[in-house]
């Protein structure tokens, strides 16, 4: 329930902002906090879906009568690494303030539309998440997770939604280069101020406005990246810092992008 309320909250925030579609202005920070805290408070009052007298515990997890995961056991809350069993759905917030888990993994592959909405609330201790193989779309399930430092994506990912990791303020590392994404969307890493470099996959065709966080100073373009469009404002509020665009001289990427990017006063092409 928390994550659904969080989705509604972030949707409301998107109406507030006009630059990135996710409430990017610092002047709206208090409003953002009010919306998020309201969602959390409401979720704390709602029992887990499917949590009936027929629920049971097994190992690290609590299950409802249908075998769906509805939470962690006391033992599970003490673990620093949580692995979701193969074929199991999570239908109620898993990692909460009580959980000591710093890493979240998955056993086996999942369906492309596997629901990740209930994996963590924003105030958990989660530092690393390894998405399961098979998933194709990354939504906003870890937006506002303030302690999240690293995200590992599988090669099956084809889309990362706008604002997907917005306000994950500790995020430093994500392996976009291993995915199949074609569009870097607005505000994907809004306020992820610890990110200083980003590696793009060779499938990328568009990098939209404010898709890259403001403290990034190095962008790496894969050798075989063919023609597309990179916004001149793809860096969010970088306050005049010149960004280094890395590529291999003579590569396909060099042929398509070097001239255009080198003509901009915001970017410097670097051959590695």
**Residue 261 and residue 268: Cα distance in Å, rounded?**
7
Tens-place pLDDT, residues 106-126: 999 999 999 999 999 999 999
Which residue would you say has higher pLDDT here, 129 or 16?
A: 129
Q: What is the pLDDT of residue 44?
A: 46
Q: What pLDDT score does 30 carry?
A: 56
Q: What is the largest CA-CA distance in the chain?
A: 67
Side-by-side strand order, sheet with 197-200: 197-200, 218-221, 243-247, 267-271
CA distance 48 to 172: 32
| Average pLDDT for 56-81 | 98
pLDDT at 235: 84
Is 242 exposed, middle or buried (CB count within 10 Å of its CB: 0-12, 13-18, 19+)?
exposed
pLDDT of the residue at 231: 87
Q: Which two tokens stand for residue 68?
A: 């769906």
pLDDT digits (tens, 9 = 90+) for 180-215: 999 999 999 999 999 999 999 999 999 999 999 889
Region for 71 from its dihedrals, namely left if φ exceeds 0, alpha if ψ lies in -120 to 50, beta otherwise: left
Q: Which residue has the tokens 């302690």?
A: 147
Q: Within its chain, how far is the Cα of 111 from the centroid? A: 19
Per-residue confidence (pLDDT) for residue 20, from 0 to 100 = 46
Cα torsion through 49, 56, 145, 80, rounded to 10: 180
pLDDT digits (tens, 9 = 90+) for 134-151: 999 999 999 999 999 999
In this prediction, residue 31 carries a pLDDT of 47
Proportion of the chain above pLDDT 70, given as a percent:
79
What is the spatial distance between Cα 167 and Cα 191, in angstroms, rounded to a whole number?
Answer: 5
Q: If pLDDT is split at 50, 70 and 90, which confidence band does 8 have?
A: very low
Q: What is the mean pLDDT of residues 90-99?
A: 97
Confidence at residue 39, expressed as pLDDT on a 0 to 100 scale: 47
User: Global pTM?
Assistant: 0.81
């Amino acid at each position: 329930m928390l994550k659904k309320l969080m989705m509604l909250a972030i949707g409301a925030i998107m109406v507030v902002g006009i630059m990135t579609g996710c409430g990017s202005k610092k002047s709206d920070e208090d409003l953002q906090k009010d919306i998020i805290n309201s969602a959390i408070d409401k979720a704390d009052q709602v029992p887990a879906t499917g949590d009936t007298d027929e629920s049971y515990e097994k190992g690290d997890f609590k299950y409802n009568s249908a075998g769906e995961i509805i939470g962690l056991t006391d033992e599970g809350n003490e673990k620093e690494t949580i692995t979701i069993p193969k074929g199991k759905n999570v239908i109620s917030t898993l990692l909460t303030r009580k959980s000591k888990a710093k890493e979240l993994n998955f056993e086996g592959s999942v369906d492309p539309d596997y629901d990740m909405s209930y994996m963590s609330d924003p105030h958990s201790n989660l530092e690393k998440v390894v998405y399961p193989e098979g998933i194709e779309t990354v939504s906003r399930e870890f937006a506002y997770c303030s302690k999240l430092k690293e995200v590992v994506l599988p090669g099956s990912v084809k889309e990362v939604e706008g604002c997907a990791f917005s306000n994950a303020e500790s995020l430093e590392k994500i392996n976009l280069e291993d995915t199949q994404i074609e569009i870097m969307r607005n505000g994907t890493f809004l306020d992820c101020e610890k990110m200083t470099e980003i590696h793009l996959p060779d499938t990328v065709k568009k990098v939209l406005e404010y898709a890259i966080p403001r403290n990034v100073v190095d962008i790496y373009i894969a050798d075989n990246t063919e023609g597309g469009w990179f916004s001149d404002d793809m860096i969010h509020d970088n306050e005049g810092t010149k960004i280094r665009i890395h590529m291999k001289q003579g590569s396909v990427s060099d042929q398509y992008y070097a001239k255009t990017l080198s003509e901009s006063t915001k970017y410097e092409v670097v051959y590695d």
